[in-house]
Chains A and B, each alone.
Chain A
Amino acid sequence: MPVPDLLIELFSEEIPARMQTRAADDLKKLVTDGLVEAGLTYASAAAFSTPRRLMLTVEGALAASPTTTEERKGPKADAPEKAIEGFLRGAGLTRDDLEERDTPKGKILFAKITKPGRPAAEIVAEVLEHTIRNFPWPKSMRWGSGTLKWVRPLHSILCLLVTEEGAEVVPMSVDGIAAGNTTQGHRFMSPGTLSVRSFDDYTTQLARAHVVLDATERAEAIWHDATNQAFAQGLEVVEDAGLLAEVAGLVEWPVVLMGKIDTDFLGLPPEVLQTSMKEHQKFFSVRNPKSGRIERFITVANRETADNGATILAGNQKVLSARLADAKFFWENDLRTANAGMTAWLDALKNVTFHNKLGTQADLVDRMATLAREIAPAVGADPDQAERAARLAKADLASEMVYEFPELQGLMGRYYIEAMGEDKAIAAAAQDHYAPLGPSDDVPTAPVSVAVALAEKIDKLTGFWAIDEKPTGSKDPFALRRAALGVIRILVENKISLPLQDLLGTGAFFFAYKQAVAGTKAADTLKEQGFQNPMFVENLERWKVGNFDISLNEKRISEIEYYPDQIKDYTFYAIFDRFREMAIVPDLLSFIHDRLKVYLRDQGIRHDIIDACIAMEGSDDLNLLVKRARALSDTLKTDDGENLIQGFKRANNILTQAEAADGVEYSFGADPKFAETDEERALFEALDTAEAQITPAMQAQDFTTAMSAMADLRAPIDAFFTAVQVNSDNATVRRNRLNLLSRIRQICLAVADLTRIEG
């Protein structure tokens, strides 16, 4: 039988550009999976999309699915009639189809079920109908009087099986739309119906009818023409892959046109021009490489015209001017507000809710300012500058430009703060403090920016922890995982040593303090009104007798004692209580450690290595923690390192068992004078040498040297275990050896908690 090719085109009203590529892939997957599942294999398949069509070509398919036979074991021959009937019903057979066979278990009935192969057309019809009815559009709709759902009204289905003998329409229909062999060309340039005979014929006819089928080809043509036109004028097109893909999904016949931006608007920041043109008009920006200014735009029309696009370009230019006039209006108004000190914006932030349990944007700014000031010294920033930067960082959220283009937040802040005459470092922080937004986004490096960026994220984490809005499973509506990763990356990539314990405590303090004060105010009002809420009274008592874990943040709590005028007794206790109840600092720190594990795992560091380092003191300093983990990971990759772990574990196991059996702790007193063998004496020497290297290295946080010295112990430890029996009959020798093992344990555990290393 000849090997057929399959041709499918689903022709509809305009499919949203952002959905086309995915839809073509889905069409290919659903149809080919369906064919294969029905036994119809094929050689190759490819899918395409334009604004009005999804297209699939499958080459070298079987003309029919193969006939299959399956043997099914039934009940025993002497089974009750009902059981046999049931089996027959299930298999769709009659008694005559059964065969009786002798088996070790007696006579058993067997059925042979033959499934005849089916012609390709029948299978294709079934698969395509199922595909159309179950297509995974992100959003779909009904139209007219029909019940079928598609992304926009579906007009025709082309479905052909093509062999050397010719093309045949696959007989099928969905919701009244019958498959045929026709399609349409370009809506305006080539109206009318095309009859198609094969894939080659289809692409040739479409090209003639002004449709470029392949989105990649359209994108390449657009980019080629755009860069050529810009180059001819000594200009360059600003690259934007997302925009290019979108524009390629808006046209079937791309025609690139370049126009000028009115000189009135060239004074706007280039990002404003670019954003306005992209968001509103889907224009590319064309830059003068000498000045860096955006001077022209590229628009992509869907057709050629008799006047070579002159009318289209003029229209686009006019629309752009109206848009940019708006942008210019915003820019000039905003500059006036900025030059007046931004007070109007800072006041406006008092009316913008950050989160209904966490106060307004102005409250957020206050907290960020305090945190930034506290962080500043550790990151090498001037505290006054860091605080000022934090106070201004969110001001642009109230500006007209950011209201219009939210994606310009931060950037506009930088422009406006610079315009006020503030230090560039303060202005830059407005833009940088949102970063990093993703795992590949750059982290801020300028000290003031780092301080504000950390302040923003620490506030966010502690705030949402305080109101118990932690991420769960796949849900992370406030992007707290991203915030934690941001903290990690800023600290680690800038090599900043900053213990988080205190900082998280400061963050947590705001919320605890605020809640306590709010509670006190409410309580005061109630008391003034003579209200005796039993729960309130009870709480009051509970606060007073509370058993507080003041180790959580002694410093903060001791500070509160100096504010007797501002904070009433029970407020003070309430704060203790909130700390105890929420216990947010350790919980949050462990969340950050979990994110750190993910971050380091992506860099090839095992989770047990990180656990071994987290268990050490000072692990709230992420930079230190990562240094330790990297050094340990490197050590464990060496032969000595890997074997040392075995030696350490052996020593630790023997010691633990002996300690358990003897009920004592062997922790010191190993003396070389009781050593009986050379290997034992060598180990004493090696431990002395290692200790002499490790102690100063650890003090200098030089983990690489410390761990390399530790790894050097591998050979003497191995030699010791080979030559020496720890459990000697001589009690003195045994005790001395156990104390020697204890030295191994102490030295190794000073570097990292090796008991947590797996394997």
Chain B
Amino acid sequence: MTEMTTAPRSFQEIILRLQTYWASKGCAILQPYDMEVGAGTFHPATTLRSLGAQPWAAAYVQPSRRPTDGRYGENPNRLQHYYQYQVLIKPSPPDLQALYLGSLEAIGIDADLHDIRFVEDDWESPTLGAWGLGWEVWCDGMEVSQFTYFQQVGGHDCSPVSGELTYGLERLAMYVLAVDHVMDMPFNDPQSPIPLSYGDVFKQTEEEYARWNFDVANTDVLLRHFEEAEAECKTILDQVHDDPKTGKRIVMAHPAYDQAIKASHIFNLLDARGVISVTERQAYIGRVRALTKACADAFVQTRAGGWTPGAAA
């Protein structure tokens, strides 16, 4: 038995083990994207990089925000800010299931004692114009990960296909660490000179953001920001591919995509404020999807997205 198969002692140790494991399997360990997103999938390292033919292998932690899930830090499982661990490998390797099971072992889940199951779950993201097939992975009846083979992103067929793994870190860690309330979970090693719980780190921010998300966020300002982000995204994408200043071909897929991410998050905030009716909801989702689709269209016009000089513009 190596050190890796012993039980981890803290939330951060689980993250560190996942980082070490996926690094050892050849993934580039990226850092979180520096914007507010609803899920790890929104990181351009997943959405944009799943497009085009270039091989890709990345893993990262992504702080994710879902304003409507805020419960002032009182609910044992629900948070408006939480972490996802995300792995994306393109093309999906034939042994991806085995690699994934190895990662569970790395964080102390012994497959000889637990019941691990792949249960059908089709994934779809209306705002990303994306879908894929795969499973939710169950460990003793609990969903510990999402496992998806991307078929389409931003309206483009994925070819080759990326394999995407998403771990809900708090839930997974609570299970591994046998904690009932997320705020009680040890964040660092409980034997540390200054032991910190998840609550020590996040209880206060959960309260603050829940109040702001639900009751204070200025909806007029948010509505305006949404419009501005949408307009800016379109403006960026409307620019000619060849930069007049440098004379280089520079398609600005990423700056445009940032605006799409921004619009998506603002929509989530507006939703939490309860100012979006059922019919408007669909319209907003459609507007965000139109942006991400346009960004995907732009990305495949870049080198990273598979564009080569001489190819049709």
Contacts and interface: CB of A to CB of B under 8 A. Distances in A.
A141 B115 contact: no
A17 B120 contact: yes
B255 interface: no
B16 interface: no
B159 A306 contact: no
Given A139-B133, A143-B92, A311-B140, A188 B160 contact: no
A14 B135 contact: yes
A413 B18 CA distance: 47
Given A142-B159, A143-B149, A13 B118 contact: yes
Contacts of B163: 143
Contacts of B118: 13-14, 51
Interface in B97-153: 97, 111-120, 122, 132-135, 139-142, 149, 151
Contact of B76 (A312, A322, A353): A322
Nearest to B178: A318
A90 interface: no
Interface stretch (A204-212, A224-232, A297-305): A297-305
A281 interface: yes
Interface in A263-308: 281, 283, 299, 301-303, 305-307
Given A312-B140, A315-B140, A155 B94 contact: yes
Interface string A147-177: 0000111010000000000000000000000
Interface residues of A, number: 43
Interface in A342-380: 351-353, 356
A302 B161 contact: no
A667 B132 CA distance: 76
B63 interface: no
B195 interface: no
A157 B115 CA distance: 27
B141 A281 contact: yes
A142 B122 CA distance: 14
Interface in A293-338: 299, 301-303, 305-307, 311-312, 314-316, 318-320, 322, 325
A390 B125 CA distance: 39
A142 B142 contact: no
Contact of A306 (B112, B132, B142): B112
B119 A250 contact: yes
Contact of A145 (B91, B115, B119, B140): B91
Contacts of B133: 139-141, 151-152
Contact of B132 (A141, A155, A351): A141
B77 A142 contact: no
A151 B118 CA distance: 14
B120 A319 contact: no
Nearest to A307: B113
Contacts of A14: 117-120, 135
Given A13-B97, A141-B151, A319 B142 contact: yes
B94 A153 contact: yes
Which of B77, B119, B122, B278 is the most central at the interface, judged by chain A CB atoms within 10 Å of its CB? B119
A148 to B, nearest CB: 11
Given A142-B151, A144-B91, A16 B120 contact: yes
Given A153-B149, A316-B141, A306 B135 contact: no
A601 interface: no
A706 B281 CA distance: 63
Contacts of A555: none
A191 to B, nearest CB: 9
A139 B94 CA distance: 20
A318 B171 CA distance: 12
B114 A142 contact: no
A109 to B, nearest CB: 53
A756 B35 CA distance: 76
B190 interface: no
Contacts of B112: 188, 305-306
Interface in A40-94: 51
B156 to A, nearest CB: 13
A22 interface: no
A18 interface: yes
B93 interface: yes
Nearest to A147: B159
A302 B141 CA distance: 11
Contact of B115 (A13, A144, A302, A320): A302
Contacts of A319: 140-142
B92 A315 contact: no
B141 A320 contact: yes
Contacts of B158: 142
Interface string A510-545: 000000000000000000000000000000000000
Interface string A15-48: 0111000000000000000000000000000000
A315 B171 CA distance: 13
Contacts of B116: 188, 302
Interface in B261-304: 277-279
A677 B312 CA distance: 102
Contact of A250 (B76, B117, B160, B278): B117
Contacts of B76: 322, 325
A290 B77 CA distance: 36
B161 A144 contact: yes
B94 A144 contact: yes
A144 to B, nearest CB: 4
B165 to A, nearest CB: 14
Nearest to A15: B120
A144 B95 CA distance: 11
B161 A143 contact: yes
A13 B116 CA distance: 14
A397 B93 CA distance: 46
A306 B161 contact: no
A754 B134 CA distance: 62
Contacts of B115: 301-303, 305, 312, 315
A153 B132 CA distance: 13
Contacts of A188: 111-112, 116
Contacts of A51: 118
Contacts of A153: 92, 94, 149
A17 B119 CA distance: 8
Nearest to A155: B94
Complex A-B, nearest 9 residue pairs according to Cβ-Cβ distance, in ascending order: A315-B140, A16-B120, A14-B118, A316-B141, A301-B115, A145-B160, A141-B133, A144-B91, A319-B142
Interface of B: 76-77, 91-94, 97, 111-120, 122, 132-135, 139-142, 149, 151, 158-161, 163, 175, 277-279
9 contacts: A16-B120, A140-B133, A143-B91, A143-B163, A153-B94, A251-B117, A319-B142, A351-B277, A352-B278
Given A281-B141, A318-B142, A322-B77, 7 more contacts: A13-B118, A14-B135, A144-B91, A144-B93, A283-B141, A316-B141, A319-B141
Interface of A: 13-14, 16-18, 51, 139-145, 151-153, 155, 188, 250-251, 281, 283, 299, 301-303, 305-307, 311-312, 314-316, 318-320, 322, 325, 351-353, 356
